[in-house]
Amino acid sequence: MTKPYLDPPCEFFDRPSVPPEIQELLDEWPEIDPSTARLVRAAVMSRDPRRLRQVWEMLNARAELARAVR
């Protein structure tokens, strides 16, 4: 039996309505998943240096992994 409260909700990103920082990210990385986009947006909107640094490190690690796979 599935528990609906554990299923993540579907998310839709309306590209014209996102902040410019997120729009640039979506343009540069079209295959980004919604949960990563949500984390990046939360960090950008918070302007907290620690959160921004963590997101940058995560995105950098994902880019290195993608390069290694190619």
pTM above 0.85, yes or no: no
Domain-located, residue 68: yes
Number of domains the chain is built from: 1
**Structural domain that includes position 64:** 31-70
Domain-located, residue 25: no
Tell me the two tokens of residue 56: 């940058």
Domain-located, residue 65: yes
The predicted pLDDT at position 3 comes to 61
Give strand ranges (E) for the chain. none
Domain-located, residue 19: no
CA distance 20 to 8: 26
CA distance 41 to 18: 9
Domain-located, residue 51: yes
Domain-located, residue 2: no
Residue stretches of the chain with pLDDT short of 70: 1-19, 21-22, 34
The predicted pLDDT at position 53 comes to 92
The predicted pLDDT at position 15 comes to 62
Q: How many CB atoms lie within 10 A of CB 40?
A: 22
- Contact between 8 and 35 under an 8 Å Cβ cutoff? The reply is yes
